[in-house]
Structure 1
Amino acid sequence: MTIVDLKQRLQEKISQISEPNLIHNKFVRPQRLMKTLTVIEKKFDDSENTQPLDEKIFKTINRLKKNGFGDLTRRDLKNLAWALGKKLPSENEKMLFTQLGKEIINYFSKANFDLLRLVYFPLLYTYFSFEKKEVDKTPSTWVLLRNILSQNKSKLFMDLRKPKPWMTTLVDHAEILSDQPTKKFVRDFLQDNDQNRISAELESLRISASSWFWDDLIRSSIKSIKNMKEDEYFKIIPRFLLLLEKNKLYTTDILVALLERYARTSQREKVHEVLKHLALDQWGNPQYEASSGWVNVNVDTKKMVIQWFVKADLEAFFKLFNQNADIQRFNYWMRFIDQITFSQIFLGSNALNSKRDEHLKFRKMNRGRIKELAGSTTSTNNAFLLKIGNVYIVDFSETGNACYFYNRLPYKDYIGKIDIKTLRNQEICIDRQTRNGNWQPRFDNALARLGIFAKR
């Protein structure tokens, strides 16, 4: 091999090693060293932004009150940034909302960038440290704090040789420092099955669990229900029910939003069992005026839920607890469902003591709504009552019993065990109809005389 050939091969090897994209193919990356470096950097960042003891913060506040800003060191100024989220023993509210807090935040708003770089993270931590009730009225000092953070964010990011993780998070999610801080997160929050994903994504900001931020995120998500498309809404119901289960504080807000939106869907007549019984547990029976919780929804939405209960009661009476389902009678009374404002089921001993799974489930889900039918009747007989307009209609499951019409409730509602004689009281009833032969036209005429007409 000639000298020329050797030189050429040597140059080729050098050239290969010199290519940037091949460097790591020639040298093993120091993985353990890099991992150690990452740990050290995190420890340094944590120590740099460790919140000082309250004792040190309060000493700085006393020094400020005594000598003003002129004698404060850089460490003192950093302590003041932390102090804005603290409550002094002598104050009823946190420092940011006091007169002294106003002076401190005004001082930082006029500070040079070198100082702001020092106090930026303490101010950021303070921004997230407040609870919803503290920022409900968006105090001017809190808005000023947000403006300071927002206006200096980009400059701080560019100034850092190696941006901190929290700084990168702020830049990636710029809306956090806007007047709609959670808007971008709402869809992710609703569609992501991992409820901790957003928390992990924002971990570097060290947002406390009680922060206004999480409250804003949940409430913004709830508000989004109102304008959801119908198919999107039905898909999201389970997500909100899970959210409600884990965040009891928002039960009323979530329930109201779900019911109001359901009432505007094309499926409002289709009973949603979970929503129905959740509302019953929270606000009581919507058929009773005493159930004041129903003022949370509008009249039309309440009417929808009442119809859910009426339909379920009629289905239970004619199908669930009746061995020979009387579909003809069920369909007849369903023609009036838009006008029915109250329904009541009276179960005989067989239905009350049945161990069938579907019977047990119905009784459990309607605990407090079912009355016992007692007196001189068979164990298989049941009864129901419907209120249409100002008329109370009582009917029975077994043949040989007429249908009774009353202009007032024929029993005392607070009693749980009702004698059948009370429901078949000919002395106070205003009409009585049997179901012999072609009974539907006769019932229509009887109801028409009372001002009741089917709308279906």
Structure 2
Amino acid sequence: MLAVEALEVLSRKLGVAIGAMGLHAGEFGKPELVEKPVREAERIFQGYSKATPSGEDAYDAARAFLRGKELDPWQREFVASALATPIREQNGRMVLGARRFPALLAEYEKEAKRGDLWRLTWYGLLYSYFQFDPVISKDEVTHNGWEALRSFLEQSWPLIDRQAGEALVPEWVKVLRKESSVLTRTPVERYTAAYLRGDTAAVEQLSADLGIPSSSWFWHALVLGVVKRASEIKDDARFRQQIPLLLRLIESKPAFRDDALEAILIRYEASKEAPQDERLRDYVCQPSVWKNPKNRDEGLAPAWNRVPDEVWRMVLSWVNEQNLKDFFDILAARNNADEGRLAFWSSYLKQITWTRLIFGAETMMLRHRNPEVRALIAREEGAYAQLTAKREVDAFMMQIGSYVIVEFSKKPNACYVYNVGSLPFGRYDKYYHGGTSDLSTGFHQSCPARIVHTPGWQKRADMELRDLGIRPDNPSAHRELSTGATQPASISKRWSGAPANHRDGIQQGPDLAVLRALLKRFGGASIDDRRKSETSGGRLWVEDPMQRMLLARELKAMGFKWANSRQAWYFPES
């Protein structure tokens, strides 16, 4: 009897215990009754594992630190997650850029080595690492602080990883065990190929797992990495197909825009026979981006100094070509004054090295209601000039060789050709009268050529320009040079490697006979050999007043370099 009573007592107690555990609804011993509480416990654990101090507490700690106050132990833990937070009361300064930040980081390092650094504090530092926005803070000191934080995280991660062990660990620990490259100097390299293909799943998952904000440096670096990877594509056509995607990415994440554009433009210029890319031209030439390349030498578009001269000249030729078309298609066409002038000057297009649009008052007013004119003036921001006397007339300047040619959009204005070295007006003036006091001086005074647009003018103009050494572009010249159809082997191929003339390992320069043969085909170009002279650095120079692109390609293939200061080609010394 006592045994039965004892069994009943034990049964009641077991029932109470099971009820207290929340298992009274099912049968004892079934695993599914335990799994749900375990999952809930894991969810709570993962939430706490990514918890950071309240934004207010972290902000207060960062503000106190920047004000020079000593932080108490709790504040030192709080501030870890606000290192990259701009502090309003400190004009947007960040702890990363503070003079005392290296000492604070050294304290975290000591704790990590002792095994005393809290895992949540380390996660706060990781949060600050990804929070850094390079668009907001561009000063070098702050960036150096961020780089020091990256280095600390990379070096201390193995310690944190070992401390976490193999038991239940936070999700971010699991992610970092697979993706620790995000803490290295090449944090985005492994993701760029997929991103370039449009496969963003891996990166988006990484972002979600590590809590990477949309303004983080990570996205800007990823875009730059994608651009650089695209620039490594060997197939020119495939590379050019990527440009619309690359420009969209740069526009969305512009922190490293200039580095990205530099890589794209250099790669584009290296393409063989690459046609003009209007989308790339219009983007890079925006006033808010690199501005008009025509303004580089005036110091108004310094970004163009980032790229080699041949890249700058490529885009400049794109702009000049567009200016020529815009002038006759939009401006002269309004007055029915084209009369074949676009077709005529287009035959000299490859020789045009500089252009400038000059707008009359009527065109300036028209921009308020004509989108086409408004877009044209916007493209020329910082480069155009205005006419003060002739309200309904626009003008167009272009340089071909050593001559500046001035065309007008409306009759009875003639076209005037002036010597670059003796212009009767300022080349970069902001305002022109437009009459005989400046642009039309050639009406009363002698000038190299004056073209009147009466019937048969094209033939007369062609003869006058030929007398000045200006001839139309040769449409077949490039085919001859590229295929070698008229020569046993093209000059480019003969000079594709190091020059043949060497003595004791010293580069002696090109074969003058070959060089003279080349220049003979390009009338007006000349050799200035000063290698035996003590002046001008003793170099071999080639001068081409018409600055022809076809000749430029051959000279570059022979090893010549362009000197912007002298506007001529030189053979570099070893």
In structure 1, the partner of 2:557 is none
TM-score normalised to structure 2 length: 0.56
User: CA 1:93–1:432 in 2, change beyond 3 Å: closer, same or farther?
Assistant: closer
Is the aligned partner of 1:246 residue 2:252?
yes
Where in structure 2 are the equivalents of 1:101-250 lying within 5 Å? Answer: 101-111=105-115, 119-130=118-129, 131=132, 134=142, 136=144, 142-150=150-158, 153=161, 159-161=166-168, 163-192=169-198, 198-208=203-213, 211-229=216-234, 230-250=236-256
In structure 2, the partner of 1:44 is 45
In structure 2, the partner of 1:301 is 311
- 1:93 to partner: Cα distance: 5.4
Structure 2 CA distance for aligned equivalents of residues 192 and 49 of structure 1? 30
Matched residue type, 2:198: D
- 1:149 to partner: Cα distance: 1.0
Q: Percent identity?
A: 18
Structure 1 CA distance for aligned equivalents of residues 238 and 120 of structure 2? 39
In structure 2, the partner of 1:6 is none
- 1:302 to partner: Cα distance: 1.6
TM-score normalised to structure 1 length: 0.68
- 1:187 to partner: Cα distance: 2.7
CA deviation string 1:151-196 (max 9, x = no partner): 664x5676124x53223322332422433221112233444386x9
Where in structure 2 are the equivalents of 1:324-335 lying within 5 Å? Answer: 330-335=343-348
- Decide whether the 8 Å contact of 1:105 with 1:141 is kept in 2: no
Matched residue type, 1:221: V
Structure 1 CA distance for aligned equivalents of residues 307 and 184 of structure 2? 32
- Decide whether the 8 Å contact of 2:432 with 2:439 is kept in 1: no
Where in structure 2 are the equivalents of 1:311-350 lying within 5 Å? Answer: 311-320=321-330, 321-322=332-333, 323=336, 330-346=343-359, 349=362
Is the aligned partner of 1:431 residue 2:448?
yes
Is the aligned partner of 1:362 residue 2:380?
no
Structure 1 portions without partners, runs of 5+:
1-28, 65-75
Matched residue type, 1:311: E
CA deviation string 1:84-133 (max 9, x = no partner): 5566x9x885799433542441342253xxx67xx345324413513366
In structure 2, the partner of 1:24 is none
Structure 2 CA distance for aligned equivalents of residues 386 and 210 of structure 1? 44
In structure 1, the partner of 2:276 is 270
User: CA 1:252–1:428 in 2, change beyond 3 Å: closer, same or farther?
Assistant: farther
User: Partner of 2:186: helix, strand, or coil?
Assistant: coil
Structure 2 CA distance for aligned equivalents of residues 151 and 45 of structure 1? 20
Matched residue type, 1:148: S
Structure 1 CA distance for aligned equivalents of residues 411 and 185 of structure 2? 67
- Decide whether the 8 Å contact of 1:375 with 1:419 is kept in 2: yes
In structure 1, the partner of 2:466 is 444
Structure 1 CA distance for aligned equivalents of residues 404 and 41 of structure 2? 78
User: CA 1:326–1:169 in 2, change beyond 3 Å: closer, same or farther?
Assistant: farther
In structure 2, the partner of 1:287 is 294
User: Partner of 1:284: helix, strand, or coil?
Assistant: coil
In structure 1, the partner of 2:396 is 384
Match of 1:419 among 410, 428, 434: 434
- 1:220 to partner: Cα distance: 2.9
User: Partner of 1:238: helix, strand, or coil?
Assistant: helix
- 1:425 to partner: Cα distance: 1.2
User: CA 1:80–1:95 in 2, change beyond 3 Å: closer, same or farther?
Assistant: farther
Root mean square deviation, CA, Å: 4.6
Structure 1 CA distance for aligned equivalents of residues 371 and 150 of structure 2? 57
Is the aligned partner of 1:258 residue 2:260?
no
In structure 2, the partner of 1:25 is none
Structure 1 CA distance for aligned equivalents of residues 149 and 361 of structure 2? 67
Matched residue type, 1:228: I
- 1:404 to partner: Cα distance: 1.5
Structure 1 CA distance for aligned equivalents of residues 180 and 151 of structure 2? 16
User: CA 1:169–1:235 in 2, change beyond 3 Å: closer, same or farther?
Assistant: farther
User: CA 1:247–1:144 in 2, change beyond 3 Å: closer, same or farther?
Assistant: closer
